[in-house]
Chain A
Amino acid sequence: MEDNCTLVSTLRALALRQGVTPSDADLEAVQAFLATVLVRLSEIEAALPPETPPAGRYLP
């Protein structure tokens, strides 16, 4: 529960620095959304070959 409060506080601070003032309910929803995305981001970071440059608009 403490971790949850800390994370919500961190998200709120990040939002405020960008001029956005979300409610607690907003941040709870975002937290659930991010939980999925961030786990997958970590997996992709681990699997991504290090020499890969970013894609341009028209591939390859």
Chain B
Amino acid sequence: MSIAVLADRIRKGELSARAAVEESLRHIAEIDPELNSFISVRADEALAEADALDCEPSRGLLHGVPIAVKDMIDVAGARTTAASRILAENVARTDAATVEALRAAGAVVMGKLNTHEFALGAMTTSPHFGPARNPWATDRICGGSSGGSGAAAAARLVAATLGTDTAGSIRIPASFCGVTGIRPTSGRVSNRGVVGVSFTLDTVGPIAPSAEDCAIVLEVIAGHDPRDPTTADLPVPQYRRALERGADGLRVGVVTALVDRADPRIGSAVREAVEKLAAAGAAVEEVEIPLLDEAGAILPLIMLPEAAEVHLPWLRSRLDDYGPDVRARLLAGLLLPVTANVTGRRARRWYCERLDEVMERFDVLAAPQMLTAPPRIGEETVEVSGEEMLYRLSVIPTSSPWTLAGLPVVSVPCGFVDDLPVGLALVGRRFAEATVLRLAHAYQTLTDWHERRPPIAG
């Protein structure tokens, strides 16, 4: 049931918030032992909060709707572990800004979702909390770092989830798990109360079955936060209303360099999706993105030193408590030359100015979200264009170019390869989330990929 339908039924009194929460808890109890998407479940608290909501008038768009958040995001009284040993017993004293917003709109926070340790990787295979498993094939990863958020949304354990995205961490699991996820523009959503990775690049955004679901959640969590100086003081559009405008007249540039680099079957699915966009009224043409490969090299120059700075106290006192991959990433950030970050920030401007020239000609860019299907848990390599490469490097070409520019990107399901989902990335101009969601919704009115459920979801 979509968020819009669920909220409407609760508002009309056809369903209580308690019943919605009980249903969610039942799904979590039945299905999550196989997925390991949750790190902690707030069963008693959620039921009590639902009972309270049932006794008051509607708070807003999410009244009584069960939602779960990545375990990087604080919920007062609950542990925020970041899937790490270091924060294993860290209990948050206050809600993150996004959780405050969810509660103010009536949502019930069901629990905290598995993540790659400290959101510093794209697999969600924490050595401390175990791997989150892909609902479409439980021997495979669900991507990351918001892997639990992708898995829980795909298995319909909750109506929607929140993830965080520093370098692809919402879009990658959305694609691998066959759901919709949006990385908002950097600065659109408050990061207050979120375990930091990179001040420049961190964002919070929703993952849910459809673009309409994501629009509703984003409308609730977006906006300026006076207590987070990294947020932009800009008005928040009514994203759900914007969906109604369809694709007519939108100019879409297809990033053929990435389509051609993807698994040919993924490339075909993306091309077919682009044909649908054209059928929906979008004006489609191919586009070449300048400095596309350089973007992937520039991003770590910004992200790694910023992450090392965030983690420096723990690098000094608890180095052995990190998993090996995360420890290596953080030490790399610590040991890069001091000029690397400045060069990275200069190169970011260089790249963005060139990309902005392209974006003047287009409203949205279309590309594959991933080059490959999700690897099996434990596999470190994938095959790209006939060559074996590290999985962690394979996620860079399709994620970093948009992350580096701080652009909003939505990943929407657009097909299957070997019974595993494929995602289409739609990239918009800065702060034009309404446009990418509008195009994603137009696509989803013509297709049913986003309605397909993994068999495990029943």
Q: Which residues of B contact A14 (CB under 8 A)?
A: 334-335
Q: Among B186, B327, B336, B352, which residue has its beta carbon within 8 angstroms of that of A37?
A: B336
Interface residue A41 (Cβ < 8 Å from any Cβ of B): yes
A48–B353 contact, CB under 8 A?
no
Interface residues of A (CB under 8 A from B): 11, 14-15, 18-22, 25-27, 29-30, 33-34, 37-38, 40-41, 43-45, 47-49, 52-55, 57-60
A20-B319, A44-B343 are known; give 17 further A-B pairs, CB within 8 A. Answer: A18-B334, A20-B331, A26-B319, A29-B324, A34-B332, A37-B300, A37-B332, A37-B336, A37-B340, A38-B337, A43-B294, A44-B294, A44-B298, A54-B348, A54-B349, A59-B356, A60-B349
Q: Mark B324-348, 1 if CB is under 8 A from A, else 0.
A: 1001110110111100101101111
Interface centre among B332, B336, B356 (most CB of A within 10 A): B332
Interface residue B315 (Cβ < 8 Å from any Cβ of A): yes
Q: Which residues of B contact A48 (CB under 8 A)?
A: 343, 346-347, 350
Chain B 114-158 interface residues, beta-carbon cutoff 8 Å to A: none
Q: Which residues of B contact A15 (CB under 8 A)?
A: 331, 334-335
Interface SS of A by simple majority: helix
Q: Which residues of A contact B232 (CB under 8 A)?
A: 58
A57–B230 contact, CB under 8 A?
yes
Bin the interface of chain B by size.
35 or more
User: Knowing A37-B300, A41-B343 touch, does A52 contact B331 (C-beta < 8 A)?
Assistant: no
Q: Which residues of B contact A37 (CB under 8 A)?
A: 297, 300-301, 304, 332, 336, 340
B335–A44 contact, CB under 8 A?
no
24 cross-chain CB contacts under 8 A: A15-B331, A18-B315, A19-B316, A20-B315, A21-B319, A22-B327, A22-B331, A26-B327, A33-B329, A37-B300, A37-B332, A37-B336, A37-B340, A43-B294, A43-B297, A44-B347, A48-B343, A53-B349, A54-B342, A55-B349, A55-B352, A57-B187, A59-B430, A60-B352
Q: How far is the CA of A11 from the CA of B434 in the complex (A)?
A: 47
Give the distance to chain B from A47, nearest Cβ to Cβ, in Å.
7
Q: Which residues of A contact B76 (CB under 8 A)?
A: none
Q: Among A34, A40, A52, A57, which residue has its beta carbon within 8 angstroms of that of B346?
A: A52
Q: Which residues of B contact A57 (CB under 8 A)?
A: 186-187, 200, 230, 406
Interface residue B107 (Cβ < 8 Å from any Cβ of A): no
Interface centre among A43, A53, A57 (most CB of B within 10 A): A57
A58–B335 contact, CB under 8 A?
no
B332–A30 contact, CB under 8 A?
yes
Q: How far is the CA of A25 from the CA of B325 in the complex (A)?
A: 12
Interface residue B312 (Cβ < 8 Å from any Cβ of A): yes
Q: Which residues of B contact A21 (CB under 8 A)?
A: 319
A30–B335 contact, CB under 8 A?
yes
Q: How far is the CA of A25 from the CA of B322 in the complex (A)?
A: 14
User: Knowing A20-B334, A43-B297 touch, does A52 contact B349 (C-beta < 8 A)?
Assistant: yes
Interface residue B405 (Cβ < 8 Å from any Cβ of A): yes
Q: Which residues of B contact A22 (CB under 8 A)?
A: 319, 327, 331
